[in-house]
Amino acid sequence: MTRLFMTLLLTVFCSWVHAEGLYLKTINNTSLTTEQIQKSLKKLEEHKDIVLRGDLEVPPFHKRGKTSDSLAHSFCTTCHMSPPHTKSERTRTFMNMHTQYIACETCHFRPENVALTYQWQDTRNASLVRVKPELFRQAVQPEDKTKKTLPAKKEITQPAKGINPFYKIAPYYQDQAVALRNNEAFAQATKELWKKEGDLDNKAELRALIHAPLAEKGPECNACHNDKESLLNLAELGATAYQVEKIQNNIIAQFFARYKDKDQRIRIINLLR
């Protein structure tokens, strides 16, 4: 049964050989170990769909609808909730916020020794978006403090208007989008199998394949919020010098760098020391 299923999938792969992005290509070249499949089966057996309860949003991160439509075009949300992060109380709000402007694959598909670049992509049709500073939420430039209207607040970070929630920073390899698109045959086959009741063995194998090239955890905050070797070239993504500086030296991200282990607690007051 499993063999048959895999053969079917492979046929599906082959018909897509020309359009294949790096993620699918990597899946295609993966041979699973028995251990990987066993582990996957265990995860599926333990997996329970999590029911979202209302009022869990933490201000100032705006209350959203139960599902985040901007993630509807992601292959990952075939199975994962929108927003997807639930487990780490410390980071989940921030990581879910980032899914508004960063594609899953940017954080979870980071193969070693592969030179990826990052571009703004319209996730509805995978087209490139022309870069401009207004793609970022971060204010384009400092407020003009010479205007004597309201008493000067130290910093007004009015986000740029007209943000398109479908535009996300996504990985590219040799000018080709890495991510798998929902309309590709492999994604369709995944969806079909996932809709079926039971069939856990095939599901476990497919889940293992899908996750084999993925990083279980995303990068540390300072992989991007850092002015030395940032994963993202913010200037190439259209950010102004001011935006680059603000994003790289984000105080919350810097605060997170102080955590040395999972259970450590740090009080905000320590920031002042």
Binding site for ligand HEC (CB under 6 A): 43-44, 47, 71, 74-76, 78-80, 84-88, 91-92, 94-95, 98-99, 101-102, 104-108, 136-138, 190, 194, 207, 210-211, 214, 216-219, 221, 223-225, 231-232, 247, 250, 252-253, 256
Residue 4 CB, nearest distance to ligand HEC (Å)?
A: 19
**Closer residue to ligand HEC (CB): 146 or 264:** 264
**Long-range contacts of the stretch 57-66 (C-beta < 8 A, 24+):** 57/93, 58/93, 61/93, 61/97
Gap between the Cα atoms of 96 and 20, Å rounded: 28
Query: What's the Rg (C-alpha) of the chain?
Result: 21
**Closer residue to ligand HEC (CB): 148 or 262:** 262
Residue 14 CB, nearest distance to ligand HEC (Å)?
A: 20
Gap between the Cα atoms of 213 and 209, Å rounded: 8
**Closer residue to ligand HEC (CB): 18 or 208:** 208
**Closer residue to ligand HEC (CB): 13 or 75:** 75
Residue 148 CB, nearest distance to ligand HEC (Å)?
A: 26
Residue pair 121/170 in contact by the 8 Å Cβ criterion: yes
Residue 3 CB, nearest distance to ligand HEC (Å)?
A: 19
The residue at minimum Cβ distance from ligand HEC is 218
**Closer residue to ligand HEC (CB): 31 or 137:** 137
Residue pair 242/140 in contact by the 8 Å Cβ criterion: yes
Task: Give whole-number Cα distances, 172 to 87, 126, 254, in Å.
Answer: 28, 11, 27
Residue the block writes with tokens 């920031």: 271
Residue 246 CB, nearest distance to ligand HEC (Å)?
A: 8
Residue pair 57/239 in contact by the 8 Å Cβ criterion: no
Residue 166 CB, nearest distance to ligand HEC (Å)?
A: 13
**Closer residue to ligand HEC (CB): 95 or 129:** 95
Residue the block writes with tokens 């990083």: 215
